[in-house]
Amino acid sequence: MVKQVELVPAGCQPWNHDVVAVHGDKFAYSATLAIYIYKFDPKYSEYYLLSIMSEHKKTITSICWCPENSNYLASSSVDGTVIVWDIIKQATVVRHTSKEAVFSLGWSHDGRHCLGVMNKKGPLWLWYTEDGKNMSMVKETQNYSSPVTLFRWHHEKHACLAFGHENGTLSVLEIGSKSLKHLFKPEVSGEYEENSNPIITLEWDPLSNDYLLICNKLEGVRLVDISSQRLIMQFQLPSAASQVQTLAWIKNAPGMFVTGDFKGGILRVWSVSNVTPIENIKIKAIGFHRLEVLKHVKKRNVKDAEVLGITDLNQNSHSNHVSSTSEAKSSAITTLSNFALPPAEIVCTFKDGGVGLYDLGHKKWTFLRDQGHIETIFDCKFKPDNQNHLATASFDGTVKIWDITTMTCVSSSPGNEGIIYHISWAPGDLEFIAGCTAKQGVFVWDVNKGKIIKRLSNHTPKTTVYCVAWNEIDSKLVMTCGADNYCIVQQVDGWVMQKYKHPGAVYGCAWSPFSKDMLATGCEDKCLRVFYMTSSSTQPIRVFTGHEGKVFHVRWNPLKEGILCSGSDDGNIRVWDYTRDQCVCILSGHKAPVRGLTWNTEVYSLLVSGSWDSTIRIWDTRDGACLHCILDHGADVYGLTSHPSRPFLLASCSRDSTVRLWTITSLIQPIELHLLAGKPWSELSSSGDSCLLSGDLSSQMLAGRVSKDLYTSMSQRENVKASLLEDFSKFFSHPCGVDNLWDLVSVLMGQNSMMLSPSYIKGIVHRQHLTQLKSSEAQQLEMIKMSKFGAGINAPSKEERLNEAANIQIKLGNVQRYCEIMVELGKWERALAVAPSVSMEYWHKLNQRYCKALIAEDCEESLPFNVAAGNVKQLSSYFTSRGQLADAVLIAQSAHEGSIKTPEVKETVVSSCGDTDLAMEKLMVELMEELAESYFNKGSPVMAACCHLAIDDQKKALSKLIRGHELELAMSVGQVLGGATSQTDIVLELLSRRCEALGKWDLGLDLLKLQKSPANQQAMLCARCSSSLAEINLLHQKAGLPLVEMCDAKANSMKSSPNDIQECVKYYLLSSSPEEGLLLGLQYVHDVMKSSNWRTDEVFPMIHLLGCIKTEKLQQIKYTEQMQELLALSAYIGALIAIKREYYPIVESLFQHARSLIRKGHLKMTLTEKHVDDSLEVYSAVIEGRVTEATELAYKKLLKCCGSDPFNAIEPGPDYVASSHLPSHSDIHVSYLSGERIKGQPFFLEDGNSVISLSEALMWAKVNPFSPLGSGVRINPF
């Protein structure tokens, strides 16, 4: 199943005013077509992406949170659609469509779910969303003389609103009462147009009924009194060039508010009592768009407070006795708890699409996504020599380069190019990108220099250029095509080599990968043309017809010479054979024009397409079959690409302004499993065209350049096994954390750190390298002081770099280095405060240096430091020189009496303590495990595994990979390291189950043979196999088991003298009479459960074995009762095992399933309905906190019944599949088990309609082999 693995959210749009909203512990922002909602996670004290809403088809204009219901969010768009969302269910509650565009929304605070809806001209409509779809008009808002920019409801006067206008005035309305129109007209000189100074934001004072902050574009911020209609204060910016873009009140700090500048990204903090800002903080280089202050303030938990010693601060407050040696109440403590600035969290959005959460009290980012596309992304391309760098081109006029290992933007073009339709990297390791635009022709961007170095203007001026393609063989050649009906081949310097005239606009062009002189174009006349540059004519050598709409993109097959494809507005993709001059395949399925196209670089028949119908389709061009349809994008899909070094990772971009990464490895999974099983490369495929007869992609050989290189290098290495597993793991896996994981594996294998990848230092590093690498980082930061010119434009300043270096040094325990950097920054007192931890001698020398510096500056603050140093003569001279003889005398007398003396600097030798080392070791492990758990719960099991490997814990590393369903990666790591055989055996078992689902039974046996003791698992695989008798017997022979008919005899002989009932049942299940084994096994389970002290350890192995019975036998009508019994027992025992393994999300569902089966089948057995009900009630009471003494005793008994689960070597905790944290746009499924909307990958049950999440399916299948639908079909999500 194709799976989304990463997402770059769209940036916040800068087009409309109210595109950011906050409520409690949640905030939301609007991109052009989607709304992104983040929620605070108190466990890890961070915000995570909760959901994405993308129902709007046109630009979103406003969003607003319902004050009465934190789950309700309203949004509007330019097509007049207003939607109220339930953000938890990610579903529409109610919608309304107006005839005109809606630009402003606002919920009244009257508690009646009243939503105000308005366009720019008015009137205001009131919509009581719970009463129905009808709206009522507010007549007083019909006749404003200037368009409305935005409005705000009053927080106390529920019928009162304030309106801002384009002419800069303010209107105030109390519905049903008075109306004040166009107040506080700004005074602007005549050189400005009438509407050049609109009100761009306004906010009621949360602590006043009459005060209002308004901000005009040019005049700035004013505080006005509505009741008296007078100006209270005109706030002044430090510079006339500064301009406020947005503002918000800090509700937990009375009278304080913040503003964001239009340019320069300066956050200013104000008090209504001061005309000028009390703090100016530059937090970004680009200007603000919107900001909102969260009411929710993160609270430090009790555990953290105890660790920090905060609870002990005032414990001695009961003593009122004060002496000369009493401890003073430190003002620093007050500062730490209350902050110099209010402890506010501010949601900030910027004109470049950036979104961040700024902690005002600590003056730092809680998180920052520095940049994001704010409009349609038309194209994406991987850098030819770097599979981790992806370039994107957008309607917003920029090209951005993303590091897909971290999903961060590493570079952005200068911008202002208008619409950029298409891009092309220069071949090889050249650092250039060519882009084509709607109005400004073609540009070449030098990525290293960060500037446009060339413009190609050979098309008609102001004509749209739709496509650009850099020749992969000859780097001097660039091809472009456009609306002027020409395809032009030119050199990079602009010299035209060839111009091909077409009968209409040319939308697509592509170079043949097999010839630098052959090219193809797609034209408005519905034709695809092939040209040969060395031909004496400019006429095409082939013209392909057949499309019923214009031809857009064309793509040559990189593996089969002469094969190319074209996408069209008719919704079809056609595959053409140039050598046979014909269409060989038509791919039909899209319901709108086709745009994105890309061939796979390893499997020649694999083609991917994207369309205006918002879907991505994956095709097998041998027979035209659609292998998979992806529905997650919220709008037109334009760009698709993959990299030859990672051919099964697909990148896509869309009109929804997102970039998404998908793994399509599941489509060729048998190939990867074949290699993991250690099978020869030569067995991977048949040759020639015989594979055309197969509908299975895995029957084809990997035919790309990279796989051939891997095979060649593999045959030349000594340590073939380890190298093979690592290389193919990187080849098949998605990138997030995989390189880091293999670097850590290399460290554990003893490899020198100098041989690791360059990216190692940026990821999770092994504990033995941590301080070494951080020291190196600090030294690099300090090197800035050696540079004459600093670090460059937009780079951190010298002071910022030195502060960062000091922070690293103090974390490393390099206190002396920290002190010296503080001295360099002029922060002497900080240095002196920590210097004694180096030595008293060092502190004394540092203090003497500070005293000399202060006296040299004639600073009176030198007095306490000189006294502390015992510098009596120096102080006497100082005071004498200033004529302060009385002070000089006082100093001398105090020294004479011994009050001032030179401090002793003898050091006390402290012996190291072994207990301390052990405590630090334990703390290090605990913190790393907490970090691992954090990564795991954010959907990154690979990074979680890295955390465990960094502290040499192989078993937990493999556990995290298994729980995150990264099975191939877990097996590869386990095989190479060899220190976690139990976990590796579990992985092999699960992978063999995957082979069963694929029908590759013999491959499953090959994998099981790699286990330490494979016999039992091999037998269960053979028992499950439902192939022909001949095929089953072949499996038996391969597994070293008797033939089917011989298993009958063996089971019968064991039944007569049952020493090992489980062995007897096993052979019955392997025989032609598995029903005998079913009856025998059920009787055994019933007998065990009759005891009052039975435990799951005694029955789970038998239940697990009975789950291997052939489905067709189990479903026979005459065994209906036995099937129901087996399913009920499997569900109940599974629930108890789930409690033990902490699979809490499925425990209640398993209990309920068991109860339903017993009730439905009217089963009379040892396990009764009451027994299940009691267990469920006890478990639910504990989970819900309804614990009584009786409940506690019952739960202890239940836990005792759960046993020790000795069959599981995986750490306890729920499974959480990688990328399950990613919300989808349009592919909506609700879990059959939980009733909640599924995030991440769904798993369809056997009826084809019921769906559960993949994480739920994995946990269920590990404790109960049968489907939740109760059909008797096994569940196999592996």
pLDDT per position as a tens digit, 139-177:
999 889 999 999 999 999 999 999 999 999 999 999 988
Q: From CA 1090, how far away is CA 1128, in angstroms rounded?
A: 16
Which three-class secondary structure state does DSSP give residue 496?
strand
Q: Is 609 exposed, middle or buried (0-12, 13-18, 19+ CB in 10 A)?
A: buried
Q: Considering just the CA atoms, what is the radius of gyration of the chain in Å?
A: 36
Q: Is 946 exposed, middle or buried (0-12, 13-18, 19+ CB in 10 A)?
A: buried
Contact 507, 551 (CB under 8 A): yes
Contact 260, 20 (CB under 8 A): no
Contact 1145, 1138 (CB under 8 A): no
> Long-range pairs for 1195-1201 at CB < 8 Å and ≥24 separation?
1198/1136, 1198/1139, 1199/1139, 1199/1140, 1200/1095, 1201/1094, 1201/1095, 1201/1096, 1201/1136
Helix ranges (DSSP H) in 248-316: 302-308
Residue 335 reports pLDDT greater than 80: no
Q: What is the 3-state secondary structure (H, E, C) of 673-688?
A: HHHHCCCCHHHHCCCH
**Position 905 confidence tier, pLDDT thresholds 50, 70, 90:** low
**Position 1227 confidence tier, pLDDT thresholds 50, 70, 90:** low
Q: What percent of the chain has pLDDT over 90?
A: 64
Q: Which residues pair with 478 in a beta bridge?
A: 470, 490
Residue 333 reports pLDDT greater than 70: no
**Residue 979 pLDDT:** 85
**Residue 727 pLDDT:** 87
Strands (E), 447-559: 451-456, 465-470, 477-482, 486-491, 496-501, 506-511, 518-523, 528-532, 542-544, 551-556
DSSP count for the chain of H helices, then E strands: 32, 58
C-alpha closest to that of 683 among 694, 665, 691, 671: 671
pLDDT per position as a tens digit, 691-742:
332 345 555 678 899 988 888 777 776 556 777 888 888 899 888 899 999 9
Residue 912 reports pLDDT greater than 70: no
**Position 893 confidence tier, pLDDT thresholds 50, 70, 90:** confident
pLDDT per position as a tens digit, 1025-1039:
988 999 999 999 999
pLDDT per position as a tens digit, 586-597:
999 999 999 999
Q: From CA 105, how far away is CA 75, in angstroms rounded?
A: 7
Q: From CA 914, how far away is CA 1188, in angstroms rounded?
A: 44
How many Cα atoms are found within 13 Å in the side-chain-facing hemisphere of 1091? 11
Query: pTM surpassing 0.75?
Result: yes
pLDDT per position as a tens digit, 791-837:
444 566 778 888 888 888 888 889 999 999 999 888 999 999 999 99
**Residue 697 pLDDT:** 58
Strands (E), 154-252: 160-165, 170-174, 179-183, 199-204, 211-216, 220-225, 230-234, 244-249
**Residue 686 pLDDT:** 39
C-alpha closest to that of 1223 among 639, 394, 656: 656
**Position 859 confidence tier, pLDDT thresholds 50, 70, 90:** confident
Q: From CA 1132, how far away is CA 1155, in angstroms rounded?
A: 8
Residue 1040 reports pLDDT greater than 80: yes
**Residue 943 pLDDT:** 94
Question: Domains in the chain and their CATH numbers?
Answer: 18-290 (2.130.10.10), 377-663 (2.130.10.10), 667-681+710-765+926-1013 (no CATH), 770-788+796-882 (no CATH), 1074-1278 (no CATH)
Q: What is the 3-state secondary structure (H, E, C) of 824-872?
A: HCCCHHHHHHHHHHCCHHHHHHHHHHHHHHHHHCCCCCHHHHHHHHCCH
Q: Kindly list the distances between the CA atom of residue 325 and the CA atoms of 321, 322, 328, 898, in Å, as whole numbers in the listed order.
A: 11, 8, 9, 17
Q: From CA 258, how far away is CA 277, in angstroms rounded?
A: 9
Q: From CA 633, how far away is CA 427, in angstroms rounded?
A: 30
Measured at the CA of 560, the angle between CA 556 and CA 563, to 5 degrees, comes to 45
Q: From CA 821, how far away is CA 1000, in angstroms rounded?
A: 64
Average pLDDT of every residue of the chain: 88
pLDDT per position as a tens digit, 64-114:
999 999 999 999 999 999 999 998 887 889 999 988 999 999 999 988 899
Helices 1044-1056 and 1029-1039: crossing angle in degrees, nearest 10, is 70
> Long-range pairs for 1231-1239 at CB < 8 Å and ≥24 separation?
1231/1256, 1232/1268, 1233/1145, 1233/1146, 1233/1149, 1233/1260, 1233/1268, 1234/1145, 1234/1149, 1237/89, 1237/90, 1237/91
Contact 173, 138 (CB under 8 A): yes
Strand 442-446 versus strand 451-456 pairing type: antiparallel
- If one counts every other C-beta atom within 10 angstroms of the C-beta of residue 490, the result is 19
Residue 20 reports pLDDT greater than 90: yes
Residue 1224 reports pLDDT greater than 70: no
Q: Which residues contact 493 (CB under 8 A, 6 or more apart)?
A: 454
pLDDT per position as a tens digit, 496-546:
999 999 999 999 999 999 999 999 999 999 999 999 999 888 999 999 999
- Looking at per-residue pLDDT, the higher value among 685 and 747 belongs to 747
Across 1144-1161, average pLDDT: 94
pLDDT per position as a tens digit, 453-480:
999 999 999 999 999 999 999 999 999 9
Residue 1017 reports pLDDT greater than 80: yes
Tokens of 200: 């761009």
Count of all residues that appear for the chain in the document? 1278
Across 961-988, average pLDDT: 93
Helices 720-732 and 669-676: crossing angle in degrees, nearest 10, is 160
Q: Which residues pair with 394 in a beta bridge?
A: 377
Across 904-919, average pLDDT: 62
**Residue 43 pLDDT:** 80
**Residue 921 pLDDT:** 81
Residue 317 reports pLDDT greater than 60: no
pLDDT per position as a tens digit, 365-410:
988 988 889 889 999 999 999 999 999 999 999 999 999 998 899 9
**Position 300 confidence tier, pLDDT thresholds 50, 70, 90:** very low
Residue 330 reports pLDDT greater than 90: no
- State the residue for tokens 């004459």: 788
* Lowest-confidence region among 307-321, 1068-1082, 1150-1164: 307-321
**Residue 73 pLDDT:** 96
**Position 900 confidence tier, pLDDT thresholds 50, 70, 90:** confident
**Residue 718 pLDDT:** 54
**Residue 41 pLDDT:** 87
pLDDT per position as a tens digit, 602-652:
999 999 999 999 999 999 999 999 999 999 888 899 999 999 999 999 999
Q: Which residues contact 416 (CB under 8 A, 6 or more apart)?
A: 397
Q: From CA 443, how far away is CA 451, in angstroms rounded?
A: 10
- Looking at per-residue pLDDT, the higher value among 190 and 898 belongs to 898
**Residue 991 pLDDT:** 96
**Residue 164 pLDDT:** 96
Alpha carbon 109 to chain centroid, angstroms: 35
- State the residue for tokens 């510079």: 239
Phi-psi region of 167 (alpha: psi -120 to 50; beta: other; left: phi over 0): alpha
